Structure 1
Amino acid sequence: MLKITWRSLLKNKLTFGLNLLGLAVGMAAFLTIAQYMKFELSYDQFYGDADRVFRVNTFWSIDGEEERYATAPPPLAEVIREEIPEAEAVCRVFYWSDFTMRPENDFENAYRETEVYAVDESFFEVFDFGLIEGDPKTVLSEPTSVVLPRSAAIKYFGKEAVERGNIVGRRIMGGKDAGTPWTITGLMEDQPANSHLQFEFLVSANSYPDDLYRNQIWSWNVMHTYLRVSEKAVAEAGWKAQLEELLDQIVDKYALPFMDQGVAEFRNSGNRMEYLLQPLTDIHLTSNYLREMRPNGNMTYVKVFGLIALLTIFIAGINFVNLATAQASRRAREVGVKKVMGASRPLLIRQFLAESMVVSGLAAGLALIFTKGLTRLTGNLLDVSFLESADWSSMGLIAAGLWLVVGFLSGIYPAFYLSWFRPAEVLKGQHRSGWSDTAIRNGLVVFQFVLSIGLITASLVIKKQVDLFQDKQLGFTKEQVVVIENDREIEERGPAFKEELRRHPDIIQASFSNGIPGLNTYQRRDFKKEGDEVSWGVDWYQIDEDHLETLEIELQAGRNFRAGTSADSTGLILNEAAVAYLGLDKPIGKYLIKNEGTEDEERLEIIGVVRDFNLESLHHKVKPLAIQYFQGFVFKDYITVRLAAGNPRAAIDHIEKSWQAFEPGVPLRYGFLDVRYDQLYKGETRLANVFALFTGLAIFIACLGLFGLITFVVARRTKEIGIRKILGASTQSILQLLSRDFLLLVGIAFLIAAPLSWWAMQRWLENFAYRIELHWWMPLLAGLAASLIAVITISLRSWSAARANPVDGLRDE
């Protein structure tokens, strides 16, 4: 039977080739997306007992305003440790600042480390992964202890030292003057790419001041807090609800009293404050809260990619069915002869199914070849290196599954349809395809183009939304701004450094601040009006007198900070959202109390109001913001430098030379603000790129099927075309004749796809605080694009038939 099957396939080379290519491309798209989905769904699964590890998030709902934090206050971890026995281990993870580091044996070789996290000594009790050397219980117990991942250890001391085990006990010198020794107490494996925790160094939390790690400020949500729940606890029904009830008791006992909130009054007012447990393995795809460590993935997008994978393989299967049934008139005589010679219907069904399985099997093999290139391309578009972690053995199993499923499902209808022909009718030439056959084929073509038009519409809307992100007026100017990440290197010499930078004609202005637009997290302070009882949490950072000019932020009222004015050290600038949030009328000259009852309590005079500008992404509305004068270098700070338009290279060279003059031997780390800010939309940009790629593949597969169908239409109507040409029909009229029915199907597909795609994209746009308006022309443009693609596909095959000599088509008569 295999020999007969192969001969039959070669006899119908065009159909064989179109089916093989369509199925191979569809399967390759499916395999690539499946590999990406597997990568995304595998985040943080590699930790030991990952299903028992949770992050504690903070939820606030006050006066109808909701906020969700990926962080919790510093004292919460210790209280959980003492009052919740079900938590067998608790640890905090906190990003402090950048570090300039040098190996102890090579002071000339300096590195700027930007992924350094301070963690509690219980870190490896919560995250059971990768420790090669060191005791997990004590490796982070002493001050200035460091655990290095393997790649960092190789960078500082070389591969040979790592392989010989000559790392633990050595020192790395920190600070611009290499004056702070850090002792390496442990060596661990690098974090896999599918971890939401990415770091270059882990340092002991008790290396830092007590007022940071042992303070009792319950309103300061700055530390990522994780806990491992005991195995005994998770075995009990309803354990999670019981644990969150204990966390609610902690809120009532500690957090609300600290914030001068009466528990009963707070609850009765409809307000809520909760500490919620989020499974570690859910963080990457279901968490997009304030103060995430980095932008996470999105489960909705993973589901969308999965849907695209199914649709693509489905379109390829539709092609197979359509092309097989379209050949009915050609293969009817073959079926009739075989039946007369004694072939039973089950035997013919097996033969046609065998043809389908052979084509599907060859396509699966070809798909594995295509997948490698498509995976690399998709990885580049997504900026995710999941090719390295690709499991080709499992991919082979998926390909084998696709071979069996697609081969059987695609072949079952054509097999039963073709084997049904009656030999007496087909041998007399009396067999005609019924209206139901044509209706099924037309319905499948319509379905293909419904999917194609929907995908084109979605690609267009996503692209327009990404363009909005990149082009919207943000309230500040992000272009031509260089951001230098300053790890307190340039401190008291800041004014001299700015003056040196401004000497270059292509540098307009420079400023210092401890915050810039586009960060993952911002510090927060509590503010209240004098005489009020309640404080309100407001985003906060410090700037110097040149910051507003550097970023071109507009003052709405009052004035900017002034250098050398001692009174401005207690001055405050608010944005318009903060003025409304705090209920201030004519705010200039009024006073606010910052962090009442704490060591850094201050009475601040409002000297200015700036127009709202987007610190965060356009997923969120502008939040209240309070700005103080830049005085200290306690936290990480930034130097922003505005360049003149044009070629920035000369200005960059001047920045690099100035830095080395002020800080010789210290690495300079800088980037452009617009690039940094646009990283906030990496998820949407990735979606747009990949959506466009797989939309193109789906349309390509649909066009293969359309090309095959028009080929059979032309073959069946060859004599009709010849007669029409003899009677004077023009080439244009022949093209119209052949394309009319197919364009009608595209029109029907548009009428179905337009409202569906409109509804789907309206739902997607609801995820954004700032979004484009859907217009009637978007699905119309998608329909016109699909029609144009169909016309081009049909014309490629119809042109030769319309131009052919009619005598050739009538010669057999």
Structure 2
Amino acid sequence: MALSKSLKLAFRNLKKNKVVSLLNIVGLTVGLTTSMLIFSFVMKEKSTDRFISEIDNIYCVTNGDDSGVHLSQNMVNLIKEEIPEVDKITYCSVDWSPQVFLKEGQQKFKLERLLTADSCFFRVFPFEAVWGDPVEGLNTSNKLVITQSLSRKLFGDENPVGKTVTYDATYLQGEELEVTAVIKDLPQESSWNFEAVLSFQTNYKIGWYVSNMKHWGSQNYQGFARLNNHASYEGVLAKLKTIPLDKVPADMKEDIKFGLFPFSDVYFDLHELRFLRHGNRLTLAIIGITGLLVLLLACINYVNMVTAQREKWNKNIGIFKMMGSSFSKIVQLVTAESLIQLGLAVGLSLLLTAVILPVFNSLTSSSYSLAGFISLKYILMLLAVVALMLVSTGLLPGVLLSRRVPSFLLRKQEEKRSRSFSRNGLLVFQFVVTIALMTSIVTIRKQSQHLEDQDLGFDKESIIYANLNDALYEHIEAFKSELAQIPEVTDYTFSESVLVDNAQNWGRRMEKDGETSEVNFSKLSVVPNFFEFFGIEILEGSGFNQNSNGKQEFIFNQTAKRAFQIETIETAKMASSKPEHGRIVGIVSDFNFESLHVPVRAAGYMCSQDCDEVLYLKMNAPTSANFDQAIDRVKMAWNRFSPDFPMEYQFLDQKWESLYQKDRQFQKILSYTTIISLLLSCLGLVGLTYFVMEQRTKEIGIRKVNGAKVSEILSMLNKDFVKWVAIAFVLACPIAYYAMNKWLENFAYKTTLSWWVFALAGLLALGIALLTVSFQSWKAATRNPVEALRYE
């Protein structure tokens, strides 16, 4: 029998069983597409930053503990001088200017992601150059290294090295920057996400920047070191622990505890580096396991569907053997049927991947192209899966059937207990997966609701904010007068940075009961009405007044009071050169200025004068039209005083919600895979039901002849499926409990794993299973018993 004839016969068999064949192909297509998308995403996530040359020699320099990533410039210089095994070391930060514009000719471009770094940045991170030499590109002031996409925006396709652009930022305007190099756009597998890198020396023209940078306690930078090839991690770490601190001020020596953190693990394990992209190892593991389970469900469905047609298949093979077909021809025939279904499923899967890739990109915050996504690894993985399925569903059954004698294949086979147990075991596995996923998604939604209901300790509704600039500072009183004329603006306040996005961390001396110690805290400067504006309660002392700025007074939160062991605010003060300065004038209630993944940490507040860098407006606009009119009036006033830096406002509640973007992403991915797993489980149930009805056709006919009611037959047919779903529920509960308990450890504020979540998932699974089975059962139960008794 030629291959073409085998394929023709296989097509004919598939055509005879259209419903089963369609279910097979749909199940395989959905399973392959979903699992391949997930596997590719997991592989790309795990390969993050692996494109960086000699990444295993690069470390993030930590301070204080394993997760402390904040350093001062002096600390970096100390390591450079004292540790010769550190081949290169760099420090950098996101540029502090909230608004940065680049002008090239008459064109003006907003720069969203600007990094400021010292001259060694591209020595530690050797990103691939398109033009120029980035290694030497940041050696002096007013130098800029840009990415290829930014180069195209500014200069088209020409080489821009040596050309200049005008730099207008919130704190520094009118500077001519020389483009010294262009690097390739950072790949999707990069935790770095910047458009350009500015030389640190450029900001030396800002007075406060220089004084801040030189202070040992101004730990606002992040350091990265590249060790030489002969240095060991353990050896360098030992030297860092005993580094000479002769140059360090006496009051800071105890707080310098250098460490190293492998940069290859930063993406998953050092989220304190906030300007880098990050993933979650546990979340990725759950997603990867889910992808594997979806693939297994698709394979199980296919096996169940094939098994459901076993008796018809046996008869066909028996007839072919009676007609003299050889071993190889039988194997070829059986394999051809699987090959056709798998081939169609693979083709449809590739087509479906191309269609849904944009949706997948949106879901995972990625930007994969089809060519980039379907890589060699993807093809090899897909071929391996298809080969395994072809062997298990085509080649092996073909070999087994070819060894059977024709008489055995042609007679009706009694179902063996081992086969029944195996098939039902596969059904149980499917519903274990489905119930566990359903429990997980309900728990995740419950946790999301818990976070929404959590009292943050401050008001965030109906508040917008925008970053100010020098032009507005100069006319701040006139601008305030303009705001007072807008009835929808009910109040305003200012702070040094955004309340829920403050990156400033201070190390300062505290004098308490005659002793001096170093304390570390999140620092934010605010104006006197800040706490009243946000509804933050002052528990002890008073708030700030108009003289608080000049006296450098502080207000701390409750956590800081406990951490610093302040019994009363009168017995402690921040160290200052003037005795009357540095008083602690109040304690405010704890409020969540960071995401609810972490507990509230120590925070200290200093008083600004009449304004600061961030403006908050409390809006009272009943309709969107009122709001738009009010914003237009605010913008008109803004543009009158600041024509070069437009008002770019955001809603504070939306900024807060953005802190949970990864959690929502995980929730969506798991929701979709839960729906897909439920679909595949139902398809598998259809296959198994089809088989059971086929096996018990004559039994149903006999029962009906003897007076059995339709309801009794339905009960008889459905009770076994209820039993297997119940077993699946018992097995799924501890698995889901363990997985969700581990996931909830990511949150400082978490919901409880309630019993009703598991019960709900079990009842939903049982209801869906009964609906799926009952249709086939009803058809069998209402069939004419005469037809059933003739059935063979």
What's the secondary structure of 2:586's corresponding residue? strand
Shift in Å, 1:722: 4.7
Shift in Å, 1:441: 0.4
d(CA) in 2 for partners of 1:258, 1:666: 42
Query: Which of 421, 426, 435 is equivalent to 1:453?
Result: 435
Is the Cα–Cα contact under 8 Å of residues 364 and 400 in structure 1 kept in the other structure?
Answer: no
Matched, 1:196 2:188: no
d(CA) in 1 for partners of 2:309, 2:639: 75
Query: Which of 567, 581, 585 is equivalent to 1:585?
Result: 567
Report matched runs for 1:297-376 at 5 Å. 297-343=279-325, 348-349=330-331, 351-376=333-358
2:629 corresponding residue in structure 1:
650
Query: Which of 2, 10, 18 is equivalent to 2:23?
Result: 18
What's the secondary structure of 2:427's corresponding residue? helix
Is the Cα–Cα contact under 8 Å of residues 573 and 584 in structure 2 kept in the other structure?
Answer: yes
One-letter amino acid matched to 1:454:
A
Query: Which of 607, 613, 620 is equivalent to 1:629?
Result: 607
Count of matched residue pairs: 777
Structure 1 residues 111, 479: closer, same or farther in 2, change over 3 A?
farther
Structure 1 residues 242, 730: closer, same or farther in 2, change over 3 A?
same
d(CA) in 2 for partners of 1:373, 1:569: 63
Shift in Å, 1:102: 4.5
Shift in Å, 1:677: 1.5
CA-to-aligned-CA distance 1:237-289 (integer Å, 9 cap, x gap)? xx11112122222276666955143xxxx9xxxxx93321322x332222222
d(CA) in 1 for partners of 2:245, 2:163: 45
Report matched runs for 1:156-167 at 5 Å. 157-159=154-156, 163-166=157-160
What's the secondary structure of 1:640's corresponding residue? strand
CA-to-aligned-CA distance 1:342-399 (integer Å, 9 cap, x gap)? 4566764554344333322322222111222343222212222234673324233332
2:138 corresponding residue in structure 1:
140
Shift in Å, 1:733: 4.1
Report matched runs for 1:267-286 at 5 Å. 273-279=257-263, 281-286=264-269
One-letter amino acid matched to 1:296:
H
Matched, 1:608 2:586: yes
Query: Which of 635, 638, 661 is equivalent to 2:614?
Result: 638
Q: Which moved more, 1:566-575 or 1:181-190?
A: 566-575
Shift in Å, 1:694: 1.1
1:707 corresponding residue in structure 2:
686
d(CA) in 1 for partners of 2:123, 2:556: 44
Structure 1 residues 566, 557: closer, same or farther in 2, change over 3 A?
closer
Is the Cα–Cα contact under 8 Å of residues 754 and 780 in structure 1 kept in the other structure?
Answer: no
Is the Cα–Cα contact under 8 Å of residues 549 and 607 in structure 2 kept in the other structure?
Answer: no
Matched, 1:97 2:97: yes
Is the Cα–Cα contact under 8 Å of residues 126 and 135 in structure 2 kept in the other structure?
Answer: no
1:64 corresponding residue in structure 2:
none
Matched, 1:408 2:391: yes
2:118 corresponding residue in structure 1:
120
What's the secondary structure of 2:472's corresponding residue? coil
Query: Which of 3, 6, 12 is equivalent to 1:7?
Result: 12
What's the secondary structure of 2:473's corresponding residue? coil
One-letter amino acid matched to 1:233:
H
One-letter amino acid matched to 2:54:
D
Report matched runs for 1:259-270 at 5 Å. 259-261=252-254
Structure 1 residues 137, 323: closer, same or farther in 2, change over 3 A?
closer
Is the Cα–Cα contact under 8 Å of residues 27 and 683 in structure 2 kept in the other structure?
Answer: yes
Is the Cα–Cα contact under 8 Å of residues 328 and 418 in structure 1 kept in the other structure?
Answer: no
TM-score by length of 2: 0.90
One-letter amino acid matched to 1:79:
L
Matched, 1:181 2:175: yes
d(CA) in 2 for partners of 1:736, 1:654: 71
d(CA) in 1 for partners of 2:539, 2:353: 55
One-letter amino acid matched to 2:615:
I
d(CA) in 1 for partners of 2:15, 2:602: 71
Shift in Å, 1:734: 4.0
Matched, 1:233 2:216: no
Shift in Å, 1:297: 0.9
Structure 1 residues 434, 221: closer, same or farther in 2, change over 3 A?
same
1:683 corresponding residue in structure 2:
662
d(CA) in 1 for partners of 2:30, 2:655: 36
d(CA) in 2 for partners of 1:784, 1:5: 41
What's the secondary structure of 1:197's corresponding residue? coil
Q: Which moved more, 1:773-782 or 1:494-503?
A: 494-503
Structure 1 residues 566, 769: closer, same or farther in 2, change over 3 A?
closer
Matched, 1:789 2:768: yes
2:363 corresponding residue in structure 1:
381
d(CA) in 2 for partners of 1:295, 1:592: 38
RMSD (Å), alpha carbons: 3.1
d(CA) in 1 for partners of 2:368, 2:579: 49
Q: Which moved more, 1:687-696 or 1:202-211?
A: 202-211
Is the Cα–Cα contact under 8 Å of residues 507 and 518 in structure 2 kept in the other structure?
Answer: no
Is the Cα–Cα contact under 8 Å of residues 97 and 114 in structure 1 kept in the other structure?
Answer: no
Structure 1 residues 201, 389: closer, same or farther in 2, change over 3 A?
farther
d(CA) in 2 for partners of 1:619, 1:661: 42
d(CA) in 2 for partners of 1:133, 1:631: 47
Shift in Å, 1:110: 4.7
What's the secondary structure of 2:258's corresponding residue? strand
Query: Which of 504, 519, 522 is equivalent to 1:539?
Result: 522
Q: Which moved more, 1:141-150 or 1:441-450?
A: 141-150
Query: Which of 541, 558, 572 is equivalent to 2:541?
Result: 558
One-letter amino acid matched to 1:643:
M
What's the secondary structure of 2:565's corresponding residue? coil
One-letter amino acid matched to 1:740:
K
1:222 corresponding residue in structure 2:
220
Is the Cα–Cα contact under 8 Å of residues 130 and 148 in structure 2 kept in the other structure?
Answer: no
Is the Cα–Cα contact under 8 Å of residues 509 and 518 in structure 2 kept in the other structure?
Answer: yes
Is the Cα–Cα contact under 8 Å of residues 147 and 187 in structure 1 kept in the other structure?
Answer: yes
d(CA) in 2 for partners of 1:132, 1:380: 29
Q: Unaligned 5+ residue runs, structure 2?
A: none
One-letter amino acid matched to 2:33:
A
What's the secondary structure of 2:243's corresponding residue? helix
Query: Which of 651, 666, 688 is equivalent to 1:672?
Result: 651
d(CA) in 2 for partners of 1:389, 1:548: 53
d(CA) in 2 for partners of 1:330, 1:482: 70
Q: Which moved more, 1:726-735 or 1:788-797?
A: 726-735
Structure 1 residues 471, 387: closer, same or farther in 2, change over 3 A?
farther
Report matched runs for 1:465-476 at 5 Å. 465-476=447-458
Is the Cα–Cα contact under 8 Å of residues 364 and 402 in structure 1 kept in the other structure?
Answer: no
d(CA) in 2 for partners of 1:69, 1:607: 29
CA-to-aligned-CA distance 1:9-50 (integer Å, 9 cap, x gap)? 333333322222111111101211122123212322333333
Query: Which of 203, 207, 210 is equivalent to 1:208?
Result: 203
Shift in Å, 1:547: 1.8
1:63 corresponding residue in structure 2:
none
d(CA) in 2 for partners of 1:226, 1:694: 39
